[in-house]
Amino acid sequence: MSETRRRFLQELGGLGAAAWAVPFLGAARSGAAPAPPPGRKLGVALVGLGSLSANQLAPALQKTSLCALTGLVSGHPDKAREWAARYGVPDKSIYTYESFDRIKDNPDIDVVYVVLPNSMHAEFTIRAAQAGKHVLCEKPMAISVKECDAMIAACQAARRKLAIGYRLHFEPNNLEMARLAREKVFGAVKVIDAAAGFRIGDPAQWRLDKALSGGGSLLDIGIYALQAARYIAGEEPVAVSAQWSITDPVKFKPGVDESVLFTLRFPSGIVANCSSSYATGLGRFWAGAERGWFEVDPALWYNGIKGRMSGPQGQGPQAFDFPAIDQFAAEMDDFADCVLHDKPTRVPGEEGRRDQRIMAAIYEAAEAGKTVALA
Ligand code: NDP
């Protein structure tokens, strides 16, 4: 067994994967919410039974050690009833968006997982916190910094934890990228190249409706390139420049970008060249350091992420060697562990807010055609 694989397995034991948390990530607010009795799994309610919930989260919940699917929130009662039968959720734990606030009276639900279109994240996070539930909210956290502030404040006021669904913070190859950079295994990183994209289909979907999406490819998929640049650099960017493009004006209306290319400058002088697109498949994070390079490609798939790094002189690249994991199961178990043991999450609301602020600056830079400083 390789050294990297052995180390990952050791760290993973007993959910020790938290020890891999990248240190620049801010600490979560400490919630002193009462923990459920020992031995009981944390009950999770999924809000929005769309593609991610159906294909990733519900199956992942079956693989978690610390969580169970105990609640369903949907605008389609028939679908919710089908889900309830399949997953053994009682009728009393099915809610609509209108009846959602009654979730406060349901002791079987500890965590609300918001899996709705982006513009609905703030409302349901705030309502969940006010109902006394911990919140996992999908990325992007919201559609404005102001909304992020309101979400953080609501969870703080209710003394409940808030985490953002940044699954790659639990994915071993991506964590290895951050470690290689942080420990300067190839010397200091100088240049980062991060690209994330997919070709979007149905023009009628909410992702292309600004009122529901809050933006275009950047908020949805380019956020992964931004995240990678930040967790590899291990610093916060001080300046951004950007250009965006729309080649299909029928599909992409103003305010919904098709592709955005952006550059980030970090305090140490690291520069990151990032791409985000709804026009084509992209998925590679690469870091060039003083004495070598390392990369993940594919970088952000649900399965099959692969990493490699430059080998010793005269030899070819060396592959990373990590076990495949279910990123969503790891993310939910980690959050449950944080709730159960009152520990900070590595992906708190503050982390989502940082991205939101930078993405606003990227749009500003693209629109103004100038570099925007991030104080
Ligand atoms: P879907 O369109 O597949 O599902 C969204 C669900 O939200 C719908 O099925 C519906 O559920 C509910 N909904 C409520 N109001 C509306 C509305 N006005 N229009 C459309 N849907 C509505 O989206 P996804 O599941 O792909 O994405 C949901 C969230 O998850 C997004 O924020 C996205 O960014 C994030 N995501 C994260 C991923 C990751 O890797 N971490 C991957 C994919 C998505 P119902 O019918 O039950 O009411």
Counting ligand 1 atoms within 8 A of each CB, the residue from 96, 116, 326 with the most, and so the one to mutate, is 116
Distant-in-sequence, close-in-space partners of 132: CB < 8 Å, separation ≥ 6 = 33, 104, 158, 160
The model's pTM is 0.92
pLDDT band, very low/low/confident/very high, at 3 (cuts 50, 70, 90)? low
Mean pLDDT of 221-250: 97
Query: If you take atom 8 of ligand 1, which residue's CA is the nearest one?
Result: 50
Average pLDDT over residues 4-27: 39
- Residue with CA closest to ligand 1 atom 31: 117
Confidence (pLDDT) at 21: 34
* pLDDT reported for residue 17: 31
Q: Is 220 in the pocket of ligand 1 (CB under 6 A)?
A: yes
Q: Is 167 in the pocket of ligand 1 (CB under 6 A)?
A: yes
41 is catalytic: no
Q: Is the CB of 51 under 6 A from ligand 1?
A: yes
Which residue bears the tokens 């009833």? 81
Cβ of 160 less than 6 Å from ligand 1: no
- The pLDDT value given to residue 39: 73
What is the greatest pairwise CA distance in the chain?
65
Lowest mean pLDDT among 33-37, 49-53, 202-206: 33-37
Q: Is 116 in the pocket of ligand 1 (CB under 6 A)?
A: yes
In this predicted model, what pLDDT tens digit does every residue of 55-114 receive, in sequence order?
999 999 999 999 999 999 999 999 999 999 999 999 999 999 999 999 999 999 999 999
Per-residue pLDDT, 134: 98
Which pLDDT value is given to residue 31?
A: 35
Q: Which residues contact 355 (CB under 8 A, 6 or more apart)?
A: 139, 140, 141, 223, 226, 227, 230
Q: Over 50: is that where the pLDDT of 120 sits?
A: yes
Residues 281-326 have pLDDT tens digits of: 999 999 999 999 999 999 999 999 999 999 988 899 999 999 999 9
User: Of the listed 113, 166, 224, 231, which one is catalytic?
Assistant: 224
Task: Count Cβ atoms within 10 A of the Cβ of residue 284 and give its class: 0-12 exposed, 13-18 middle, 19 or more buried.
Answer: middle
Element (H, E) at 147: helix 145-157
What phi-psi label fits residue 292: left (phi over 0), alpha (psi between -120 and 50 degrees) or beta? left
Query: Could you read off the pLDDT of 316-335 as tens digits, one per residue?
Result: 999 999 999 999 999 999 99
Task: Please give the pLDDT value at position 6.
Answer: 53
Out of 139, 161, 166, 363, the active site residue is 139
Calculate how far, in angstroms, residue 356's C-alpha sits from the geometric centre of ligand 1: 19
Does ligand 1 have an atom closer than 6 angstroms to the CB of 117?
Answer: yes
| Predicted pLDDT at 25 | 29
Q: Answer for the pair 48, 71: CB distance below 8 angstroms, yes or no.
A: no
Q: What residues does 94 pair with on adjacent strands? A: 72
Q: Are 318 and 293 in contact (CB under 8 A)?
A: no
Cα(21)–Cα(28) distance, integer angstroms: 12
- CA dist., res. 270 & res. 131, Å (int): 43
